A and B are shown apart, each in its own frame.
Chain A
Amino acid sequence: EVHLLESGGGLVQPGGSLRLSCAASGFTFRDFAMCWVRQAPGKGLEWVSRLENDGRTTNHADSVKGRFTVSRDESKNTLFLHMNSLRDDDTAIYYCAKDGAAWSLDNWGPGTLVTVSS
C-alpha cells in the first residue's frame, strides 16, 4: 500500500525559509515523478511543483518559480520542497502526491500546514 507522509510545516516569518519533507513507502520511489500541491485555508487546490524520477527535471507554478525548489533523496525515499522568500500568500496545507497514469495524482499524503506570518 502506498503511503506518503509530509513533515516540516510550521510558523515562519515573511521572507523566511522552510524545508518540507515527504517520506514515501509502498512503491518503487525511484520509478515515479512526484508533485507538491497546496491548499490555502478555505480555498481550492493549487499545483506547486513536479520533480521527474530522474531527480533533475523540475517544473514549478509561476507563483513559486524562483523561490521554491524541489529535490529527492532516493536512498531515503524522500521528496523535499525547499521554500525561500516566503510570503503571506504561501500560507497553506502542502500535500505531496505521486504521479499516476495520464498525468493524474493517484496517491496523496495527509498534508502539512505552513503558516507565514509575523
Chain B
Amino acid sequence: QSALTQPPSASGSPGQSVTISCTGTSSDVGGYNFVSWYQQHPGKAPQLIIYDVNKRPSGVPDRFSGSKSGNTASLTVSGLQVDDEADYYCASHAGNNKRVFGTGTMVTVL
C-alpha cells in the first residue's frame, strides 16, 4: 500500500488561508468517504482535526475544513494562526480494514 501524496510544505501569513492536497487512488481516497486529517506539533502525538472527509471533532475550530473530489482530498486552514504551524497528515481507509497515511505537509506561518 503506497502512501498518499501530499506536498512537502505549505505556508501563509497570519490571517491567510492555506490548502493542502492529498492524492490517492480509487482503492483508497477515491473509493471511500473515509478521509481524516491529523495535526502534529513537533515532539507531540498526532491529533485528529477532520474525519469523514469534512467533519470536525468537538473542540476543533471551524477554521479547519475538508473536502474531496475524486482521488484527491483537501484540507483548508483559514485565518492562519501561529499555533497552526505544524505537520499535517491525511489518512484514508484502504480496503480490507487497512489504513494508509499521507506523506505529510509541513505548514509554516510566515
Chain A contacts to B: CB under 8 angstroms: 35, 37, 44-47, 50, 52, 57, 59, 61-62, 95, 100-111
Q: How far is the CA of A57 from the CA of B97 in the complex (A)?
A: 10
Give residues 78-101 of B contacting A (CB, 8 Å): 89, 91-93, 96-101
Task: Let me know if B45 and A44 touch, CB within 8 A.
Answer: no
Q: Which of A47, A101, A105, A107 contacts B52 (CB 8 A)?
A: A101
A45-B36 Cα distance, complex, nearest whole Å: 13
CB-defined contacts of B36 to chain A, threshold 8 Å:
102-105
A111 touches B45 (CB 8 A): yes
A40 to chain B, nearest CB (A): 12
Q: Does B1 contact A (CB under 8 A)?
A: yes
Using Cβ atoms and an 8 Å threshold, which residues of chain A touch B102? 44
Interface range on chain B (Cβ under 8 Å from partner): 20 to 34
Q: Is the CB of B99 within 8 A of A103?
A: yes
B96 touches A45 (CB 8 A): no
CB of B13 to closest CB in A, whole Å = 26
Closest 3 CB pairs of A and B: A104-B51, A102-B52, A104-B36
Chain B proximity of A2: nearest CB distance (Å) = 11
Which chain A residues lie closer than 8 Å to B12 at the CB level? Answer: none
Structural contact, B45 and A108, CB atoms closer than 8 A: yes
- Of the candidates B32, B33, B52, B104, which one forms a contact with A44 in the assembled complex, judged by CB atoms under 8 Å apart? B104
Asked if B97 contacts A45 (CB within 8 A), the reply is: no
- Which residue of the partner chain, among A45, A50, A59, contacts B38 with CB atoms under 8 Å? A45
A38 CB → nearest B CB, Å: 10
Q: Is the CB of B57 within 8 A of A44?
A: no
Q: Is B31 interfacial (CB-CB < 8 Å)?
A: no
Chain A contacts for B98, CB-based, 8 A: 47, 50, 59, 61
Which residues on A sit within 8 Å (CB–CB) of B99?
A: 35, 47, 50, 103
* Residue in contact with B55 in the complex, picked from A45, A102, A110, A111, CB distance below 8 Å: A102
- Structural contact, A59 and B46, CB atoms closer than 8 A: no
